[in-house]
Amino acid sequence: MHEYDSYPEPPRKRRKGRFDDEEAPRRGRQAPAGGDLSALDERDGVEPDGPPEGDRWSTWDGAQHGPEPRPGWVITEHAAVDTELGVVKTGKEADVHLLERAVPGTGRRTLMAAKRYRTAEHRMFHRDAGYLEGRRVRRSREMRAMANRTAFGRDILAGQWAGAEFAALSRLWVDGIAVPYPVQVHGTELLLEFLGSLDGTAAPRLAQLRPEEDELCDLWHQLTEALLGLARHGLTHGDLSAYNLLVHDGRLVLIDLPQVVDVIGNPQGPEFLARDVRRIGEWFLAKGLPAAAGDPESLLEDLRVEVGMPQAIPMSQQ
Ligand SMILES: Nc1ncnc2c1ncn2[C@@H]1O[C@H](COP(=O)(O)OP(=O)(O)OP(=O)(O)O)[C@@H](O)[C@H]1O
Ligand SMILES: [Mg+2]
């Protein structure tokens, strides 16, 4: 078993299906008339305010919403319900679940990837160290909590990572860069466009593929476009690898962007940029990327120009 699989799920019980002639669920717990408390025991563990089907009411209302124009498949109805369909992947810092949002009785349904950042003791955040430079939290109690890595501080960090990933995706998606549409963020949970098929099978990570030369060149070209798009915003991914790229119906999509790095603003930015390009470049070279299709070092040069890094002056001109 994966060592992180023991992360506890919040207790949740499905409400039994209700018939039309049943009494509507009461809001909150009420002591029944006559003082018979056994009726309360029977409902123990059942969400008193939960929907008649599904696992929870749609959390759309209380959440921060993704950018407009919103894709037509995004469900915004108040009556929508969310149903958990399983775990896509557990990770060190977050778990990704498959979530269905549907409007009962209408046939309207959509699949989303729910990325839930781990809070407090449930995770090991290797990313908390270098990446947070330059990100400020105003209240000093929160700054101290984060610095001391108290449980409270780690919860704030989890929320910050979700917020940071949501902000980065929103900005990039609006500019047409290949990232999943960010539907909403609510606390430590981020809901994303699910990249995969209607039966809930997620798109493969690039690392799982063994592309033929034509496809490899096409994927390299798509990667170049995506990284130039990030560089236009002065950014690099910060953790780019063949595991953080999905290939959905031939389309290369960047995922996992909470630690996106400002190349100029972050003192280590230029190193993150070089590491990103060299690491993913090695994967392409190992798979046989032909020299004519391009090479990582010249891509790195193009990206440095695009972000506006000062260029090294050639010896001949010094
Ligand atoms: N929008 C999505 N659609 C389909 N699958 C997704 C989506 N987002 C993430 N996944 C799947 O979940 C995995 C983990 O997502 P992500 O990389 O964002 O989280 P992570 O916590 O960084 O995980 P890891 O520690 O494995 O890198 C991805 O490799 C991918 O297989
Ligand atoms: Mg990842």
Distance CA 308, CA 234 (A): 8
Q: Are residues 256 and 301 in the same domain?
A: yes
pTM for the structure as a whole: 0.79
**How many other C-beta atoms are found inside a 10 Å radius of the C-beta of residue 86?**
8
Asked if 180 and 169 count as a contact pair (C-beta separation under 8 A), the reply is yes
Q: Are strands 56-57 and 245-248 parallel, antiparallel or unpaired?
A: unpaired
| Boundary-marking domain end, from 141, 159, 193 | 193
Tell whether 53 is covered by a domain.
no
Ligand nearest to the CA of 2: 1
CATH number at residue 214: 1.10.510.10
**Does residue 205's CB lie within 6 angstroms of at least one atom of ligand 1?**
yes
Smallest CA separation from ligand 1 atom 1, residue: 194
| Ligand 1 atom having least distance to the Cα of 196 | 4
Ligand nearest to the CA of 126: 1
Distance 10 CA to ligand 2 centre (A): 23
Ligand nearest to the CA of 95: 1
Q: Are residues 148 and 236 in the same domain?
A: no
**Does residue 128's CB lie within 6 angstroms of at least one atom of ligand 1?**
no
**Which protein residues have their CB within 5 A of the ion that is ligand 2?**
244, 256
Ligand nearest to the CA of 97: 1
| Pairs from 106-112 (Cβ < 8 Å, separation ≥ 24) | 108/75, 108/77, 109/75, 110/73, 110/74, 110/75, 111/85, 111/194, 111/196, 111/198, 111/200, 112/183, 112/191, 112/192, 112/193, 112/194
Q: Are residues 163 and 227 in the same domain?
A: no
Q: Are residues 180 and 239 in the same domain?
A: no
Q: Are residues 68 and 189 in the same domain?
A: yes
| Boundary-marking domain end, from 135, 170, 193 | 193
**Does residue 194's CB lie within 6 angstroms of at least one atom of ligand 1?**
yes
Residue 151 makes CB contacts below 8 A (sequence gap 6+) with: 119, 120, 121
Q: Are residues 146 and 181 in the same domain?
A: yes
Query: pLDDT tens string for the chain (318 positions)?
Result: 333 333 333 334 333 333 333 333 333 333 334 444 444 444 455 567 889 899 999 999 999 999 999 999 999 999 999 999 999 999 888 999 999 999 999 999 999 999 999 875 455 455 554 555 555 555 666 666 555 555 556 566 788 999 999 999 999 999 999 999 999 999 999 999 999 999 999 999 999 999 999 999 999 999 999 999 999 999 999 999 999 999 999 999 999 999 999 999 999 999 999 999 999 999 999 999 999 999 999 999 999 999 999 876 666 665
| Boundary-marking domain end, from 193, 217, 233 | 193
3-state secondary structure the chain: CCCCCCCCCCCCCCCCCCCCCCCCCCCCCCCCHHHCCHHHHHCCCCCCCCCCCCCEECCCCCCEECCCCCCCCCCCCCCCEEEEEEEEEECCCEEEEEEEEEECCCCEEEEEEEEEECCHHHCCCCCHHHHCCCCCCCCHHHHHHHHHCCHHHHHHHHHHHHHHHHHHHHHHHHCCCCCCCEEEEECCEEEEECCECCCCCECCEHHHCCCCHHHHHHHHHHHHHHHHHHHHCCEECCCCCCCCEEEECCEEEECCCCCCEECCCCCCHHHHHHHHHHHHHHHHHHCCCCHHHCCHHHHHHHHHHHHCCCCCCCHHHC
Q: Are residues 175 and 282 in the same domain?
A: no
Q: Are residues 245 and 272 in the same domain?
A: yes
Q: Are residues 248 and 298 in the same domain?
A: yes
Position 178: which residue type?
A
**Does residue 239's CB lie within 6 angstroms of at least one atom of ligand 1?**
no
Would you state the structure tokens that stand for residue 145, as one six-digit string?
Answer: 């909590």
Asked if 118 and 95 count as a contact pair (C-beta separation under 8 A), the reply is yes
**Does residue 126's CB lie within 6 angstroms of at least one atom of ligand 1?**
no
pLDDT at 33: 40
Q: Are residues 75 and 163 in the same domain?
A: yes
**Domain of residue 218, residue span:** 206-306
If one counts the domains in the chain, the total is 2
**Does residue 91's CB lie within 6 angstroms of at least one atom of ligand 1?**
yes
Tell whether 175 is covered by a domain.
yes
Q: Are residues 172 and 98 in the same domain?
A: yes
Q: Are residues 178 and 234 in the same domain?
A: no
Tell whether 211 is covered by a domain.
yes
State CA 244 to chain mean position distance: 11
Distance 256 CA to ligand 2 centre (A): 5
Tell whether 246 is covered by a domain.
yes
- Our mutation pick for probing the ligand 1 site, out of 4, 93, 112, 115, counting the most ligand atoms within 8 A of Cβ, is 115
Distance CA 276, CA 289 (A): 17
- Our mutation pick for probing the ligand 1 site, out of 88, 93, 185, counting the most ligand atoms within 8 A of Cβ, is 88
Tell whether 72 is covered by a domain.
yes
Distance CA 33, CA 12 (A): 28
Tell whether 14 is covered by a domain.
no
Tell whether 49 is covered by a domain.
no
Residue 13 makes CB contacts below 8 A (sequence gap 6+) with: 45, 46, 47
pLDDT at 55: 96
Asked if 264 and 307 count as a contact pair (C-beta separation under 8 A), the reply is yes
Tell whether 10 is covered by a domain.
no
**Does residue 253's CB lie within 6 angstroms of at least one atom of ligand 1?**
no
